[in-house]
Structure 1
Amino acid sequence: MDGLPKSRLLRFVERAMALARRGVARFSTRYSRKRFTLRQHVVLLCLKVKKTTTYRDLVDELIEMPRIRDALDLDSIPAPSTLCKAFDRLEMAVWRVLLNVSFCDLPLDGVAGIDASGFERAHASAHYTKRANLTIQQLKTTLLVDTATNVILDIHVTTTRKHDTQIAPQVVKRNADSIAVLTGDKGYGDQKLRQLARDNSIRPLIKHREFTSLHKAWNARLDSDLYNQRNMNETVNAAIKQKFGAFVQSRVWWKQFRELVIKCVVHNVEIALADSYQ
């Protein structure tokens, strides 16, 4: 067993466990039963998202994964209900810290793209929703992506129909130190957002809506090579939906938010692994 090469799954678990040690406390409280650590719960929840499986199936597969259990320092296997309760108990702040830690070792170039996409709040086929006359509301998910590495720097999720120019300022403020150039489509072409970027020493590379000939001239002068890097946002959005599903399985909004952040963490871990083995 020791002579076998490491699988991608084992490398993923080891990387995720290393990140969890850096960003997550070992136990939630000193009164914890200390049977499982928060770090083990975090990695197992990430593993569930990566494998797009259920709690029950994940626990069943762990029985036949001795090297994965060794990497997690698992002396026993948690019950499905234990992982479900851990998901409910781990706050969004924990996952945001893990998201920030997941890309801190990667070579970011400061060029970030911002774009929004939709995730279905129920996993139902188009045929079923049409026959049952159902309307499935989407979660509007805004991603801030480093265009050099395709890692996700930040995520904003809402159940409302907020305009892009209402969401972007808070994303930019949270990540001003990591951004040198901000790229975005015309949906982010608001003067207040441009001024906010300049106030934080960020170059806004956002196309203007062409109401006048002056707007057309400004768009023509854009650095097209740099601006076109914003297409990486669409690549990342498509990759997440293809690998982890274009829907969320949770039924409560705050659980749905956490589920999407975990998808971003898993995506960043996979990017880091691919970068280290190139």
Structure 2
Amino acid sequence: MQALPKSRLLQFVEKAYHLARRAVARYSSKFSKQRYTLHQHIVLLCLKVRKNTTYRMLIDELIEMPRVRNAIGLEELPSPSTLCKAFSRLDMAVWRVLLNLSVTLLPTNGVVGIDASGFDRSHASKHYTKRTELTIQQLKVTLLVDTRANVILDLHVTTTRKHDSQIAPTLVKRNTAEVAILLGDKGYDDEKIRTVARENGVRPLIKHREFSSLHKAWNARLDADLYGLRSQNETVNSRLKRRYGAFVRSRHWWKQFRELVVGCLTHNIEKAL
């Protein structure tokens, strides 16, 4: 009987498992019960986001996935609460390391676009959102996307009404090694962003808000073909929402932030297949 080829799901699991083994130790502590490894937890959490499902449904589907279980050495299935607690224990720093490692799986060209989008927080019940006084119903997520392979280099998440001009300098400083040209729309028209970019060896290609004929002339001189690559950001934003959901499932803000980073990590792994 001919062996079955590897499905994209199995390839995804193997790639995520390889990254997890590069990023973290096998167990979180010497006092761990050593029933499940951190590598297995990371893969299952990425798989949950990829399938856009709940912990309970994921565990139920894993019963019928022997090849996936064998790929990560999972001999017995964890309970949904075990995965939920693992997600709470894994720090944001771990997910950021994994995101940085996933960037190395894809070719980049240094032409990077920056753009923001909103993710809904009102997936919770109306009673919950009212009781916890969630007045801001969306998270503002700013993505830094390399335009060659649509790989997500970094992201910034906030629950406030922080302006784009306050977010961009942080992302530029954090990723100077990966950014050669920064593409941005008129929302990023701020002299501070341009100054920070130039100081870090980055060429800013940002449209000016047209308050005078001089601004119109500057916009006319922009490299249209190069600036047109900025639309890749909108493509990535759309893909994240269509494949993994336009909302976050977690209730706590810090878990919502982590959930979005896992979504970006999952996107990069899938692009690498």
TM-score normalized by the length of structure 1: 0.93
How far residue 136 of structure 1 moved from its aligned partner, in angstroms, is 6.1
Match of 2:49 in 1: 49
Kindly, what percent of the aligned residue pairs are identical?
Answer: 70
Match of 1:178 in 2: 178
Is residue 184–residue 207 contact of structure 2 (8 Å, CA) maintained in 1? yes
Match of 1:252 in 2: 252
Partner Cα distance (1:19, 1:122) in 2: 32
Letter in 1 for 2:64: E
SS at match of 1:176: coil
SS at match of 2:177: helix
Is residue 209–residue 215 contact of structure 1 (8 Å, CA) maintained in 2? yes
Give the unaligned 5+ runs of structure 1. Answer: 274-278
**Superposed structure 1 runs of 4+ greater than 6 Å apart:** none
| Counterpart mapping for 1:1-278 below 5 A | 3-123=3-123, 137-273=137-273
Q: 1:151 to 1:2 in 2, by over 3 A?
A: farther
Give the unaligned 5+ runs of structure 2. Answer: none
Q: Over residues 125-151 of structure 1, what are the superposed CA-to-partner deviations in whole Å (9 max), with x where a residue is unaligned?
A: 9xxx9xxxx976100000000011001
Partner Cα distance (1:124, 1:243) in 2: 20
Q: Over residues 20-70 of structure 1, what are the superposed CA-to-partner deviations in whole Å (9 max), with x where a residue is unaligned?
A: 111122111111111111111000000001011111111111111110001
How far residue 124 of structure 1 moved from its aligned partner, in angstroms, is 7.2
* CA root-mean-square deviation: 1.6
Partner Cα distance (1:216, 1:122) in 2: 40
Q: Over residues 5-24 of structure 1, what are the superposed CA-to-partner deviations in whole Å (9 max), with x where a residue is unaligned?
A: 11111011001101111112
Moved more, 102-111 or 42-51: 102-111
Partner Cα distance (1:167, 1:193) in 2: 9
Letter in 1 for 2:156: H
Give the length in aligned residue pairs.
266
Q: 1:98 to 1:2 in 2, by over 3 A?
A: farther
